[in-house]
Amino acid sequence: MRFEEHDHDRDEFGDLAELGHTHSIRGGSRPSGALLAVLVPVLLLTIVGVIALWPNSERAESRAALDFGAELVDGTVERVETGECLATAPGSDLECQVAAVRLEEGPDRGDIFELEIQESPTSVTLRGGDKIVLNRVSAPDVPPDLRYTFADYQRSTPLVLLAVLFVVAVAALGRFQGIRSLVALAVSLFVLVRFVLPSILDGNNAIAVALVGAALIMLATLYLTHGYNEKTTTAVLGTFASLLLTGLLALLFVGLTNITGLADEDARILTVAAERIDVRGILLGGIIIGALGVLDDVTVTQVSAVWELRKANARMSARELYASALRIGRDHIASTVNTLVLAYAGASLPLLILLVQSERALGDVLTSETIASEIVQTLVGSIGLVASVPITTALAAAIVSRPSWAEANAAG
């Protein structure tokens, strides 16, 4: 009898866990007064934070320091030959690629320019037909044969094609909800580009900017994707509480490990280009923004699991709902934490290979700032992710266990 009950529970919860992973959070009544009493202050704080931290300064000096004002022009490689480098001393054994490039933009449009690139293990190898980007130096004292230098490859066409395939795939499978998720993605990118990044460049506290930006993204994307209802609001509050916990842990352990944020080359460049910027704050803000992308997935799944468990058995108490949904959450967390760790490892793969090649002691490698910062980001984000399961599950179980919940959600 005990084994039969166990198998029945396993089948029921297995089906519900599968349903939870579809992230269907539709239905349900509008948020109750108790939920709104918590949601409204979060919304007001977010609005006040956006107004107070909205970027308003000019960054011409930063652009000049980074030389972003250099003119970029497109070109097409007509042919490539290999020969002696013209810029070196006669008799040198150095070889260069000499590419005939047709200029597609700028004052010399239509002209053929001979671009010389010294061959080395780190240099690019050009071929006829390559679409490239050139730096154009307009200073009058620069010789005509040195006016253009290689900057990059043109990538707009394949990137646009990839973006179109992504939109078609999401819209075809997700239909209307998929389209709404694409709109939510556009909102997230807008908030990052127009608010979070410029506000940090203005010298505002990066942690405050990241929290406000994450809250704004969370509110917009969750409600756009899943609708304005009690279930979504529960997921929003669970996500916000987990974000606060993640931010506090990040602040604590970045301080305890004395991570400066200067191990990254891009961060060091930023300190020159924007003196007011807080590099350590950027690291902390990155942890918060990075955690948000996984947190909303977990919180939405947990809320859906609690709702479906309640519909399957209306007699379950809040404690029983919590215990059952927590079992579903354990499976989700086990795979998600592994995904988070592998994502950070994949992003740092060249660095990890370099450190292994150095044959330094493992302890020295792990405690170096470059690796320690990745460890802090991974573990703090993972702890926030793990904590989001009991936090959101307890909140959802308390809400659906109210005496009036069944009547209020009968239509859902």
* Domain identity same for 301 and 368: yes
Residue 165 maps to a domain: no
pTM: 0.72
Residue ending a domain, choose from 89, 123, 153:
153
Domain encompassing residue 385: 2-56+173-408
Q: Give Cα separations from 148 to 50, 60, 100, 122, 407 (angstroms).
A: 43, 24, 12, 19, 73
* Domain identity same for 34 and 147: no
Residue ending a domain, choose from 125, 153, 181:
153
Give me the residue label for tokens 């007001």: 44
Q: Which residue type is seen at 299?
A: T
* Domain identity same for 188 and 118: no
* Domain identity same for 262 and 132: no
Residue 166 maps to a domain: no
* Domain identity same for 39 and 83: no
* Domain identity same for 17 and 82: no
* Domain identity same for 311 and 191: yes
Q: How far apart are alpha carbons 112 and 102 in whole angstroms?
A: 5
Most confident of 16-30, 78-92, 194-208, 398-412: 194-208
* Domain identity same for 25 and 77: no
Count of domains for the chain:
2
Q: Which helix (H) or strand (E) holds 151?
A: strand 148-153
State the pLDDT at residue 2. Answer: 37
* Domain identity same for 134 and 108: yes
C-alpha dihedral, 222 to 228 to 230 to 236, nearest 10° = 30
Tokens of 68: 């972003």
pLDDT class for 37, splitting at 50, 70, 90?
confident
Other Cβ atoms within 10 Å of 188 Cβ, number: 21
Are 330 and 388 in contact, with CB atoms under 8 Å apart?
no
**Where is pLDDT greater, at 65 or 169?**
169
* Domain identity same for 149 and 184: no
* Domain identity same for 142 and 270: no
Residue 161 maps to a domain: no
* Domain identity same for 35 and 181: yes
State the pLDDT at residue 13. Answer: 39
